[in-house]
Chain A
Amino acid sequence: VLSLLLGLIPGVGAVYNGQYAKGVAHVVIFGGLVSLLGAESSEGVRPLLAMMLLLMIAYMPLEAFRTARAIESGQPVDELSGLLPAGSKAGSSPALGIGLIALGIIILLHTLGYWRIAGLLPYWPVLLILMGIHLLYRRFTEDAADETSRAVASHSGLPAIRPLPSEPVQGPAAGPPPDQEPK
């Protein structure tokens, strides 16, 4: 409950859970959204920025609470958990890193006065398209991996490998039943 309350203050909930990098990321994202909302050049996209800010205000305490519960139950928690897509594959996707670098460079060029973000703002739907393409790419690569696993399983007679089991499998151990002789 304390984490839920502290999560209302940008970065503090994450720091309370020992996730310092995530705390800094929360502060940077929250501060960036507030700064952009206050900027004159953001007039056309203020509703979108306001919605993102509201989402961030709701997300931070909930994420801090969820992480605190995960820590209590002994689950491993990554330094940037919750900022990444769910699942342990999150850290292996370069899209987040590339996205953060691109965002950082765009904002840096704007704040240093070399280039104005205002010229780019009308093209914000491109972000939605890129996100959609990324999700489709992930979906198709996962499907291809599943099919490969099934094909290997059908040749070897073993059950198909299920990707990323989230809970321990209950029931009898895998393998032939005790009354059946292996061929």
Chain B
Amino acid sequence: MIRDLRLPVLLVLTGALFLADYAGSYSVYQTWPILLIWLGLTKLLESLDDGARQGPPAG
């Protein structure tokens, strides 16, 4: 699920950052780490999802 969201949201975020730059509020140079945070968030959710699927170790 989260893997399907990664790229579309990345594109939306990139577009929003460039729009904010064009509007003069924040430049892309200032806001690009948001993309890094999104990538990290998707990796974290993915690993939690994997852990939940594997379940607790038997024993």
The answer on a CB contact under 8 Å between B47 and A101 is: no
CB distance from A178 to the nearest CB of B (A): 31
Chain A, residue nearest B10 (CB) = A24
Size of chain A's interface in residues, with CB distance under 8 A?
Answer: 30
The reply to whether the CB of B45 lies closer than 8 angstroms to some CB of chain A is yes
- A window 52-108: CB within 8 A of B: 79-80, 91-94, 96-108
Query: For residue A159, which residues in chain B have a CB less than 8 angstroms away from its CB?
Result: none
Report the contact-size class of chain B (Cβ under 8 Å from the partner): 20 to 34
The answer on a CB contact under 8 Å between A28 and B50 is: no
Q: Given B33, B50, B51, B54, which contacts A104 in the complex, CB threshold below 8 Å? A: B33
Chain B, residue nearest A22 (CB) = B39
Measured CB to CB, the residues of A under 8 A from B are: 20-21, 24-25, 28, 31-32, 35, 79-80, 91-94, 96-108, 111-112, 148
